[in-house]
Chain A
Amino acid sequence: GAVVSQHPSRVICKSGTSVKIECRSLDFQATTMFWYRQFPKQSLMLMATSNEGSKATYEQGVEKDKFLINHASLTLSTLTVTSAHPEDSSFYICSAGDFQETQYFGPGTRLLVL
């Protein structure tokens, strides 16, 4: 099946700094990628839809100025958590799907903001 990677797998940062998370589709092109957030022992909550070459579409309640998404190419989407605070600590997961295929999920990035 298709492979989606995320980098880094784990990051610790100080409050107030920005953190960038990369999501790559390794063996297929993805015009659309999705970013999810998962709190401990909870389900995945969709944050935004990342569209190659255009602005991301954010779900209700997600601050677009705080969670910057860039989909610069057909294989790369980035999520930047700006001015991170402890409440932003979470597990962030991306997914991607090529046409006619199910979405494939990355391994996730654990963010801890101190």
Chain B
Amino acid sequence: AQSVTQLGSHVSVSEGALVLLRCNYSSSVPPYLFWYVQYPNQGLQLLLKYTTGATLVKGINGFEAEFKKSETSFHLTKPSAHMSDAAEYFCAVSDRGGSSASKIIFGSGTRLSIRP
């Protein structure tokens, strides 16, 4: 079975500071990994995904994540936080490699707050 653990239910950073949201996964097969963002009362928007190949993945809005197999981690970073980054972030793993029939298992989420 696959699972995702997000460390820290709430992260607060100052505007302009580094954003680091932590995610560790468990999977018996090579995982497909995702980060999604959710703004209040809205659905989920894909930030980035890792399938195969390059382990450093760049996404939208300046976010990136690095797949580290040895650490079973897929932490999300952004060099400089912006007020508009305040939202809920979900790390997720796919159980069958990203096909249309793959179930996605979500972490518990991390709420990111940005201090002026």
Contact = CB atoms under 8 A, between A and B. Distances in A.
B43 A105 contact: yes
Given A43-B107, A102-B34, A102-B49, A93 B43 contact: yes
Contacts of B54: none
A97 B108 contact: no
Interface residues of B, number: 23
Interface-centre pick from A34, A42, A49, A105 (highest chain B CB count, 10 A): A105
A102 B108 contact: no
Interface-centre pick from A1, A42, A102 (highest chain B CB count, 10 A): A102
A17 B108 CA distance: 31
Interface in A88-102: 91, 93, 95-102
Contacts of B41: 91, 108, 110
A72 interface: no
Interface stretch (B16-24, B67-75, B78-86, B93-101): B93-101
B44 A46 contact: no
Contacts of A101: 98, 100
B78 to A, nearest CB: 20
B44 A99 contact: no
B104 interface: yes
A93 B45 CA distance: 12
B104 A108 contact: no
B90 A34 contact: no
A99 B36 contact: no
- Interface size on A, as a range, is 20 to 34
Interface string B85-116: 00000100000001111111111110100000
A107 interface: yes
Interface in A62-114: 91, 93, 95-108, 110
A15 interface: no
Nearest to A95: B104
B49 A105 contact: no
Interface of A: 1, 4, 6, 30-32, 34, 41-44, 46, 49, 91, 93, 95-108, 110
Interface of B: 34, 36, 41-46, 49, 90, 98-109, 111
